Amino acid sequence: MDRQAVTIAIDGPVAAGKGTLARRLAARYGYAYLDTGSLYRAVGAKVLRQGGDPDDAAVAAGAARSLTDRDLAAPDLRSEAVGLAASKVAAIPEVRAALLDYQRRFAAQPPDGKPGAVLDGRDIGTVVCPAAPVKLFVTASDEIRARRRHRELLDRGENASFEQVLADLRRRDAQDSARNTAPLKPAPDAHLLDTSNLDIEAAVAAAVDIVAATLKP
């Protein structure tokens, strides 16, 4: 019988450094990586493209059920507007239900026969993979996260003020934490990792220590 794939679940608020950490851990252990936020972003972007309202449950659920590879490769996925739309569609239970199987299958049977998967998002440790042996909840102060996100947007040529980015980030975190279905919160058995005072190398080293201690035979 095949060995069970190992899952590393990484959750946390906007721009806490989850994606970079997840990518680095996946590369280090030879695991597959799934950015689950991109699924919600693709749904939000698709609704906006259709001229629909991201708060409309029927429209958003329809977009989630008909998601294609092309939607997942949309060029505007990382924009602020799409991030806010993603947070709205993500509060709709039918949207979350439509995306759940894909995420669980990715974790259970990682592509290319890889022995494990790293998934990052908001509800990986609590809902998508509650039995994951390694769970990290990554945080950083609002200002530091907004500074990182602002730099990322400027690098990409988006025009945004720091104040606007900070306000958007707080709004999105508030929406994500307050929703009834799969709210943003650490799983009871998650390891908390505050990256406020860590550069990327230090954050990766801290995460590797946690993974090593948790997966120790």
- Residues near ligand C5P (CB under 6 A) are 14, 36-37, 40-41, 83, 86-87, 90, 121-124, 172, 176
Of 146, 137, 140, 193, nearest in space to 166 by CA:
146
Give me the least distance between CB of 36 and ligand C5P, in Å please: 4
Of 16, 69, 64, 9, nearest in space to 33 by CA:
9
- The DSSP H or E segment spanning 213 is helix 200-215
Give me the least distance between CB of 20 and ligand C5P, in Å please: 12
Q: CA-to-CA distance for 39 and 191, rounded, in angstroms?
A: 25
- The DSSP H or E segment spanning 85 is helix 80-89
Give me the least distance between CB of 39 and ligand C5P, in Å please: 7
Give me the least distance between CB of 142 and ligand C5P, in Å please: 14
Half-sphere exposure of 121 (CA within 13 A, CB side): 31
Q: Which is nearer to ligand C5P, 24 or 41 (CB)?
A: 41
Of 118, 121, 39, nearest in space to 86 by CA:
39
Q: Which is nearer to ligand C5P, 36 or 139 (CB)?
A: 36
Give me the least distance between CB of 161 and ligand C5P, in Å please: 19
Q: Which is nearer to ligand C5P, 85 or 210 (CB)?
A: 85
Give me the least distance between CB of 211 and ligand C5P, in Å please: 20
Q: Which is nearer to ligand C5P, 167 or 212 (CB)?
A: 167
Q: Which is nearer to ligand C5P, 26 or 90 (CB)?
A: 90
Structure tokens that stand for 128 in this block: 């998508």
Amino acid at 26: A
Provide the sign of the torsion angle of the four alpha carbons 152, 155, 157, 159, taken in this order: positive
**Which single residue is written with the structure tokens 């939607």?**
71
CA-to-CA separations, 188 to 117, 195, 197, in angstroms, rounded: 21, 20, 24
Q: Which is nearer to ligand C5P, 165 or 217 (CB)?
A: 165
